[in-house]
């Protein structure tokens, strides 16, 4: 599987690409580092990054240069953006990147033209972006943390200029590849952005077209309430425990260290939700999982369940369990399919929470 992660500087694409590589056990290449090395080599040689011949000559840089921390500097980043506009430079580095992408087992590559030029056949294409102001702020904090004094306004100006060069160049301009999922990280935390990216890959792996996972935000609290109230009232009755959680999701789920995910279907909006309620150190109850009737046949429930299990693992869950009723036969079958087993110990410890509970399950893996 080839995963292409494109986007402008400081958007979070490198962080996301590294996380995807670690999660799916794939090798990772930061292709921007190659261009930074060329830019740095031009600088060391006293050349002109706007001169195509100087840029091409610098493509013979030593591999040892890739380990030089100075490649991460804003100055070298500017040189990289300038040498990257030369077709001869891009062609010289093309074969190296292409070979990495096509290695046995697949790879994760991040850059600016992975999904459009280097690996247009990539199974997963992501385009990671954020506002210029936010990207400048992130880079400023990074530089500050490394003890480098630089004005935020200067960084913002440089990033805007780099965006203009990258998107305006004639050869392989920065753009989202056809079919790429655009992830705007302006208002996403690091873990949220990584989570969205992982679920995008899982969507492709498991064949769930038109579905994507969205993390909890206050504007979705109404969907969390309505979706769950709908199915609970259709099959049982809302108990006090239900009402507390559905009416106060942030207070009852998020604040104590839990999580709520939603599944969104193309053309339908939010069609399902599920929560992880923290009940002790390392212990999480998978609860309040519901999918609207409008999403029937789309495998939205399976997609959502896989996502919430992955999220529980990422949160360090050592005990993941659920409580339900035997009349929810279809849901129980899905739980069994994805690694849950009936467990008398869970029933004894937690079953009394709901009057309707007569089935308790523990995640044991597949």
- Token match 């492709």: residue? 204
Per-residue pLDDT of the chain (366 residues; tens, 9 = 90+): 899 999 998 999 999 999 999 998 999 999 989 999 999 999 999 999 999 999 999 999 988 999 898 998 888 988 998 998 899 998 999 988 999 999 988 999 999 999 999 999 998 999 999 999 999 999 999 889 988 889 999 999 999 998 998 898 887 888 998 878 888 999 888 998 998 899 888 877 777 777 888 889 899 999 999 999 999 999 999 999 999 999 999 999 999 999 999 999 888 999 999 999 999 999 999 999 999 988 888 889 998 998 888 888 878 889 999 999 999 999 999 999 999 999 999 999 999 989 999 999 999 987
Please tell me the distance from the alpha carbon of residue 227 to that of residue 365, in angstroms, as a whole number.
Answer: 27
Q: What is the pLDDT of residue 206?
A: 75
What was the pLDDT predicted at 181?
Answer: 83
CA-angle at 88, arms to 82 and 92, nearest 5°: 105
Q: Rounded to whole angstroms, what are the CA distances from 198 to 3, 21, 116, 124?
A: 11, 10, 21, 10
Q: Report all structural domains of the chain as residue ranges with CATH numbers, in order of start.
A: 2-205 (3.40.50.300), 212-363 (3.40.630.30)
Nearest Cα neighbor of 118 from 240, 1, 290, 2 is 2
**């425990």: which residue's tokens?**
241
């Amino acid at each position: 599987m080839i995963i292409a992660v494109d986007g402008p500087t400081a958007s979070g694409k490198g962080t996301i690409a590294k996380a995807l590589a670690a999660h799916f056990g794939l090798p990772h290449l930061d292709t921007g580092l190659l261009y930074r090395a060329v830019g740095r080599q031009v600088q060391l040689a006293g050349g002109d990054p706007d001169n195509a011949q100087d840029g091409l000559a610098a493509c013979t840089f030593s591999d040892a240069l890739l380990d030089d921390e100075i490649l991460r500097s804003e100055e070298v980043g500017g040189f990289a953006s300038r040498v990257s506009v030369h077709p001869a430079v891009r062609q010289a580095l093309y074969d190296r990147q292409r070979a990495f992408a096509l290695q046995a087992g697949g790879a994760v590559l991040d850059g600016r033209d992975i999904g459009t030029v280097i690996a247009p056949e990539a199974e997963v294409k992501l385009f990671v972006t954020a506002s210029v102001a936010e990207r400048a702020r992130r880079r400023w904090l990074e530089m500050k943390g490394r003890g480098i004094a630089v004005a935020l306004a200067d960084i913002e100006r440089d990033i805007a200029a780099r965006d203009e060069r990258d998107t305006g160049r004639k050869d392989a301009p920065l753009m989202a590849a056809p079919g790429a999922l655009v992830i705007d990280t302006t208002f996403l935390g690091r873990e949220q952005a990584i989570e969205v990216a992982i679920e995008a890959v899982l969507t492709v792996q498991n064949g769930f077209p038109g579905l994507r996972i969205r993390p909890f935000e206050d504007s979705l609290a109404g969907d969390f309430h309505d979706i769950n109230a709908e199915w609970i009232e259709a099959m049982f009755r809302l108990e006090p425990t239900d009402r507390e959680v559905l009416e106060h999701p942030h207070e009852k789920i998020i604040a104590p260290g839990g999580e709520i995910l939603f599944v969104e279907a193309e053309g339908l909006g939010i069609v399902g939700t599920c929560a992880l309620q923290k009940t002790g150190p390392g212990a999480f109850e998978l609860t309040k999982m519901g999918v609207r009737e409008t999403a029937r046949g789309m495998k939205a429930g399976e997609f959502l369940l896989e996502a919430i299990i992955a999220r529980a693992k990422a949160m360090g869950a050592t005990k993941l369990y659920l409580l339900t009723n035997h009349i929810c036969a279809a849901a129980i079958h899905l739980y069994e399919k994805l690694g849950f087993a009936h467990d008398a110990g869970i029933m004894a410890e937690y079953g009394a929470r709901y009057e309707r509970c007569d089935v308790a399950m523990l995640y044991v893996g597949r």
